[in-house]
């Protein structure tokens, strides 16, 4: 498998630190609101990477944090007359509602910043002791000049990075690029914890270093997040981690591209800022996931109704194929699968795996699924073994992408089958009122019936 490493700006063969095991950390949400489309992309993409690695037999320990103390949470608590812990708890619960609906697996560990204050303080103390950090009036800053490789992830020297920073004459920092590891409490009502430097709270970057060290160790295989996190967040993580531990922080750095909305950058000022919860009012969560995976994760992706409708139709094509297979299984003859069918399905599976192993190319992987769908739809007089093989292949590959796991859509349950049988008998008895009532009742549940010469076909109306 090859992955594009932001650190080296090249595709590299993936070699985990321990054969068969993967230690992976992905930056999670700041929990002051429902997460938005921009958050959803890395959550979906790197969940997909995790699920593919597990599919290929790796034992993956996947950690995704919650930033549950931050200026945004403090401001939100003040606006709502609430507390930071109450705001965090509310939106962590809401995160899991949306994440589950998007097919995102829970991480092996979901640590919170506030649960790791002792580990954070210990890391800050280590950096001070090693000469990489300093305290000024209750605030602690990391000294970027103490780390000679600062800027290696963003591929910019310190001088270039500094040129884009506003110079503040009364700034307490030794260097304009120095960043906060610990922040002094500003007001008596602000949340804070006791520390060697007084009551305060952690800076944003230090929490990830402390949590990676605690749950995964000093060096991990993969660190991932959105493209916007390369600088300063991930750059700062590397600096403080290497300086604290004296070892590399992560061997592979993966970053997904931006999301535009109707070809414009998503922002609140433009009025095109959407949470996933907003989008789910119009489109099924699974359609959102399918849309996110329909482009290569490093490419920008444009969110608009036309492309979402295309994703909806594409996903529906796959489900309709599965529904059609289920329908045909009712009258298909027994027998062994033909060699041509076996080879074709194996070929689609190999194409899928090759695409995913080429820097997680989910767009080409989805194309392989569509090839399997076209083949299944074109089979003439298939027997049960051939139909089942086609269905199993499509579902297997879809499941790796976190798709097609809605078993209600993928198979005909006993209740619906019984209702269709009852309607068929009512039509034979010329009890048109009962037949129409059953059809209408099913339609209100989103199930559309189609009478064909071979019997009744059905599908979910989306």
Question: CA of 442: how far to CAs of 252, 305, 324, 446, 447, in Å?
Answer: 50, 28, 18, 7, 5
Is residue 121 within 8 A of residue 213, CB to CB? The reply is: no
pLDDT for 165 equals 59
C-alpha distances out from residue 122 to 234, 294, 441, Å = 20, 43, 63
144-191 pLDDT, tens digit each = 999 999 999 999 988 888 765 555 544 789 999 999 999 999 999 899
**Whole-angstrom distance, CA of residue 24 vs CA of residue 27:** 10
Residues 24, 30, 31, 32, Cα dihedral to 10°: -170
- Alpha-carbon Rg for the chain, nearest whole angstrom, is 26
Please name the residue that has the structure tokens 């403090």: 74
Burial of 299 (0-12, 13-18, 19+ CB in 10 A): exposed
427: three-class secondary structure by DSSP: helix
Whole-number Å distance between alpha carbons of 291 and 307: 8
**What's the gap between Cα 217 and its chain centre?**
23
How many other CB atoms sit within 10 Å of the CB of residue 304? 12
CA 40 to chain centre: 6
| pLDDT, tens digit (0-9, with 9 covering 90-100), for 358-383 | 999 999 999 999 999 999 999 999 99
Q: What is the pTM of this model?
A: 0.88
Q: Residue 268, Cα to own-chain centre: how many angstroms?
A: 22
> For the chain, what is the mean pLDDT?
93
Alpha helices, H only, 274-304: 276-280, 285-293
**pLDDT for residue 411 is more than 90:** no
* Residue 117 token pair: 């204050």
- Long-range CB contact pairs, 198-202, < 8 A, 24+: 198/138, 200/138, 200/139, 201/69, 202/69, 202/113, 202/117, 202/120, 202/124
pLDDT tens-digit readout, 121-149: 999 999 999 999 999 999 999 999 999 99
Q: Measured between alpha carbons, how far is 97 from 78 in angstroms, rounded to an integer?
A: 25
């Amino acid at each position: 498998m090859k992955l594009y490493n932001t650190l080296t700006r090249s595709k590299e063969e993936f070699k985990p630190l321990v054969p068969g095991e993967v230690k992976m950390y992905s930056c999670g949400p700041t929990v002051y609101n429902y997460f938005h489309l921009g958050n959803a992309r890395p959550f979906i993409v790197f969940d997909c990477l995790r699920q593919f690695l597990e599919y290929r037999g790796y034992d993956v320990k996947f950690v995704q944090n919650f930033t549950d103390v931050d200026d945004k949470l403090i401001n939100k608590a003040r606006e709502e007359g609430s507390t930071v812990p109450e705001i965090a708890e509310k939106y962590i619960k809401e995160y899991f509602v949306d994440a589950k609906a998007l097919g995102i697996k829970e991480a092996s560990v979901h640590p919170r910043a506030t649960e790791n204050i002792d580990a954070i303080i210990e890391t800050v103390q280590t950096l001070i002791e090693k000469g990489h950090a300093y305290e000024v009036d209750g605030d602690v800053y990391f000294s970027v000049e103490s780390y000679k490789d600062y800027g290696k992830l963003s591929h910019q020297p310190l001088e270039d990075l500094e040129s884009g920073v506003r110079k503040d004459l009364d700034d307490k920092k030794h260097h304009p690029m120095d960043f906060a590891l610990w922040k002094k409490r500003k007001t008596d009502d602000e949340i804070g914890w006791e520390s060697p430097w007084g009551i305060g709270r952690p800076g944003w970057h230090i929490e990830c270093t402390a949590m990676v060290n605690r749950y995964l160790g000093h060096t991990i295989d993969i660190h991932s997040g959105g493209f916007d996190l390369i600088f300063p967040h991930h750059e700062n993580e590397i600096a403080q981690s290497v300086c604290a531990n004296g070892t590399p922080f992560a061997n592979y750095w993966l970053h997904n591209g931006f999301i535009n909305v109707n070809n414009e950058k998503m922002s609140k000022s433009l009025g095109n800022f959407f949470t996933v919860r907003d989008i789910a009012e119009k489109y099924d969560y699974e359609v959102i996931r399918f849309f996110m995976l329909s482009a290569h994760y490093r490419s920008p992706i444009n969110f608009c109704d036309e492309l979402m409708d295309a994703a909806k139709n594409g996903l529906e094509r796959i489900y309709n194929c599965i529904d059609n297979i289920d329908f045909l299984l009712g009258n298909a003859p027994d027998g062994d699968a033909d060699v041509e069918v076996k080879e074709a399905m194996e070929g689609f599976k190999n194409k899928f795996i090759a695409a995913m192993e080429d820097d997680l190319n989910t767009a080409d992987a989805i194309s392989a699924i569509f090839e399997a769908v076209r083949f299944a739809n074109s089979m003439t007089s298939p027997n049960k073994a051939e139909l089942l093989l086609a269905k199993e292949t499509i579902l297997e590959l879809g499941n790796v992408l976190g798709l097609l796991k809605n078993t209600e859509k993928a198979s005909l349950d006993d209740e619906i089958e019984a209702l269709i049988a009852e309607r068929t008998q009512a039509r034979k008895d010329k009890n048109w009122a009962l037949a129409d009532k059953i059809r209408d009742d099913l339609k209100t549940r989103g199930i559309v019936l189609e009478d064909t010469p071979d019997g009744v076909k059905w599908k979910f109306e989306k």
